[in-house]
Structure 1
């Protein structure tokens, strides 16, 4: 584990490198585009409005109640699923650098995370507009959002790292994760609230992604998240970090050969 911590520490200290690489990669994607990364924001806004009108009518919910819930759920799910799916192929997509340069491996995880965080910052504009428009935001519960987002982000880091290692060794794993995330989307309270699944409350309590959405979304709409979501997410983080540090320490020197 000491070797893993050294790699992670050195990578974090090289923040200027992974922030620059992440920003350049994002700019390259939207080269010669007038709107640039805000195409993501525009497409997300259109999706939220369309689903808000349709599902709001299906669920018989008022727009003021449903649209903020939907906007927050979709924007942060896009971030969560993006980090996990792209995390799987982080080392694979950086094969040319890993095989030729003696860089720390965790730098590529941070680069991917930074790129997705910048995309989240573009999409968060939608959430801010919706919260202000419907006046559901309250400063009283905002600190709980900060804590919740930090816990989710910490979990995403170890998940992306562990999945990146597994994926570089077993190339079918990214496709398995992508299919799994598509299924999880429909059983996680994103398009609906957790109260709508009262009969299946056990399903929510066993779904880590339901915990993540709860501790992020509830504080932004002026509600206090369920305490078990915090406890379970923290326990998951502790166990996940220990497992990831062990695996990373064992495998990080072999990544260059696997890519």
Structure 2
């Protein structure tokens, strides 16, 4: 009786580890390569929202214009500000705030709202984030029409040196530095992607996050120098930087990260003097925020389709 020979079988291949930074970077890279997809979907979102409307997306511009006008007229009287400089200030700030608001509120539900596509469309999850950010960017471009109208009306005032109520320094006025608003806007959009990725993943797992953010977003609006100028705090503190008891009020603005994001775009749009510490703060948030977003992508990207 011959002994039976044993057939050696090759070892079973190891399952690829999905929890790697390479997979996280790959998701973002593949989503960028599919920009025709999310670009088309984002444009279709706007067309669908204003379908059968007589003036279509111009409602975005009209709504922004009336809101900025009302807030500018009201708060210029409350804070004793000159309308020629304060109305452009409120308009520019409110346009940028509207973009930030849309990214934060829609970003928390970006995966929840796209449940059907996530389960049936084999695409990187970053595609849904880029679609939402692209849609908000299109809204921002529509709202810039309001800024251009205000700029034309108040250009004689903004083109010369001026001082807003409570300012310590004289603002130089509009010049070629207005072009700095372009890289500033690009940086804000880059930050919008990591905000939506990070909060979108967290909110998909913990569904209490979106209503919590919606509850506090109005408070953040009034704590951000949008309808009020930071010079008001200088007047309260005495404006001498002596470190008195009232100087803590300046922390209301400085400890608010949204203020720095708004200011790097708004300052060149209005011809204000550039305060480069705003760029440093935004740059630091960009690095830290993308690091946290990639960590969340590394650990939980594959679970999003099960959580939605």
- Of residues 103, 108, 117, the one that matches 2:128 is 108
**240-249 vs 221-230, which moves further:** 221-230
Structure whose CA Rg is larger: 2
Aligned length: 259
Is 2:224 the counterpart of 1:224?
A: no
2:16 is aligned to: none
SS of corresponding position for 2:302: coil
* Aligned residues of 1:22 and 1:115 also touching (Cα < 8 A): yes
For residue 24 of structure 1, report the CA deviation from its aligned partner.
Answer: 0.8
- Of residues 251, 254, 258, the one that matches 1:209 is 258
**Unpaired segments of 5 or more residues in structure 2?**
1-20, 160-173, 238-248
Instruction: Give the aligned CA root-mean-square deviation in angstroms.
Output: 1.2
* Aligned residues of 1:168 and 1:255 also touching (Cα < 8 A): yes
1:8 is aligned to: 28
Q: Distance in 2 between matches of 1:192 and 1:202?
A: 15
- Of residues 94, 112, 118, the one that matches 1:92 is 112
2:218 is aligned to: 182
* Aligned residues of 1:8 and 1:106 also touching (Cα < 8 A): yes
1:31 is aligned to: 51
1:194 is aligned to: 230
1:256 is aligned to: 305
For residue 146 of structure 1, report the CA deviation from its aligned partner.
Answer: 2.0
2:171 is aligned to: none
For residue 78 of structure 1, report the CA deviation from its aligned partner.
Answer: 0.4
Q: Which runs of 4+ in 1 moved over 3 A?
A: none
Q: Distance in 1 between matches of 2:230 and 2:265?
A: 13
Is 2:186 the counterpart of 1:150?
A: yes
- Of residues 113, 116, 138, the one that matches 1:118 is 138
- Of residues 37, 51, 73, the one that matches 2:93 is 73
**Unpaired segments of 5 or more residues in structure 1?**
none
User: Any idea what the Cα deviations from partners look like across 1:190-248, whole Å, max 9, x if unmatched?
Assistant: 00111212242122211100101111111111112322111111011101111110111
For residue 180 of structure 1, report the CA deviation from its aligned partner.
Answer: 2.1
SS of corresponding position for 2:80: coil
**95-104 vs 106-115, which moves further:** 95-104
Is 2:151 the counterpart of 1:131?
A: yes
For residue 151 of structure 1, report the CA deviation from its aligned partner.
Answer: 2.2
1:42 is aligned to: 62
For residue 130 of structure 1, report the CA deviation from its aligned partner.
Answer: 0.6
TM-score, normalized by length of structure 1?
0.96
TM-score, normalized by length of structure 2?
0.82
More helix by share: 1
**Structure with the greater relative contact order (CA < 8 A, sep ≥ 6): 1 or 2?**
1
* Aligned residues of 1:141 and 1:223 also touching (Cα < 8 A): no
* Aligned residues of 2:178 and 2:270 also touching (Cα < 8 A): no
